[in-house]
Amino acid sequence: MSLFRYTEDCLESAEGRWPAEDHSLARPVERPKTIRVFRNGFLEAISRAHVVTPALWFGPVIAWAWIASPVKLGLGRTALVFGAGVLGFTLFEYLLHRFFFHGLIRFAHDKHTRFRAFMVHGYHHEFPDDKMRLVMPPMISWPLAALFAGVYFWALGPVLALPVLAGTMTGYIAYDWVHYYTHHAHPRGGIGKWMRVYHLRHHHQDPNAHYGVSSPLWDLPFGTFRSPLEKRPAPSKDAQPIASS
């Protein structure tokens, strides 16, 4: 028996057929905010993560960088290098979201590639309000953090690598928290409402724009910025914007 066995809900959703939307039913069941993905209970548990957990496992590295780095670099240079790490993550976030996540979806032309695209990013577009699958679980974020650390220490040396890594981790935590906020908070005005509308338009109106999640910074030079203040018609109930992204 294969360890990586998926539920029927997961397999059907990956094909764009949420089972509960069977129109032959007298009363179609409302689509839930989350579904079970793995049949194996352990895999299902470790595929989920609460939004506060990245700060718990990356916070000590960030704290250590601010304790150790100023001793060798000084406070000003530490802040500058740390800021470069944050900025670098915002670019990585944009490129990953636009070209990898949506690239997989865009070129998914058969059952197997559609399923891979669904598992990587399509799930979030199908179930955007799943609170426990907005954050990368440790099974993904820890190896990715180790990869960043290895590249930084190899390319920059330990003195510069530590604050850059801390900045990258801070950028990632900010990305997670802003992403969670845009889906689950309901600000009435200000920058909070602006960011919420900006991101939700990516989900519900224009999946080919609004790729910046933590900020619209890189949407501007790459030409994918669309003002959330612009009036647009509401999509129809039958619209499937992710399929055309």
Structure confidence by residue, pLDDT tens digits, 171-216: 999 999 999 999 999 999 999 999 999 999 999 989 999 999 999 9
SS (H, E, C) the chain: CCCCCECHHHHHHHCCCCHHHCCCCCCCCCCCCCCCCECCHHHHHHCCCCCCHHHHHHHHHHHHHHHHHHHHHCHHHHHHHHHHHHHHHHHHHHHHHHHHHHHHHHCCCCHHHHHHHHHHHHHHHHCCCCHHHCCCCHHHHHHHHHHHHHHHHHHHCHHHHHHHHHHHHHHHHHHHHHHHHHHHCCCCCHHHHHHHHHHHHHHHCCCCCCCCCCCCCCHHHHCCCCCCCCCCCCCCCCCCHHHHC
pLDDT at 245 over 50: no
Structure confidence by residue, pLDDT tens digits, 1-24: 467 899 999 999 999 887 655 555
pLDDT at 157 over 80: yes
pLDDT band at 240 (very low <50, low <70, confident <90, very high): very low
pLDDT recorded at residue 229: 79
pLDDT recorded at residue 21: 56
Q: What's the mean per-residue pLDDT of the chain?
A: 89
pLDDT band at 239 (very low <50, low <70, confident <90, very high): very low
pLDDT recorded at residue 244: 36
Q: How much of the chain, in percent, has pLDDT values that exceed 90?
A: 78
pLDDT band at 243 (very low <50, low <70, confident <90, very high): very low
pLDDT recorded at residue 22: 56
pLDDT recorded at residue 31: 76
Domain locations in the chain? Answer: 1-47, 48-244
pLDDT recorded at residue 120: 93
pLDDT recorded at residue 25: 56
Structure confidence by residue, pLDDT tens digits, 68-79: 999 999 999 999
94 compared with 33, residue with greater pLDDT: 94
Structure confidence by residue, pLDDT tens digits, 105-151: 999 999 999 999 999 999 999 999 999 999 888 889 999 999 999 99
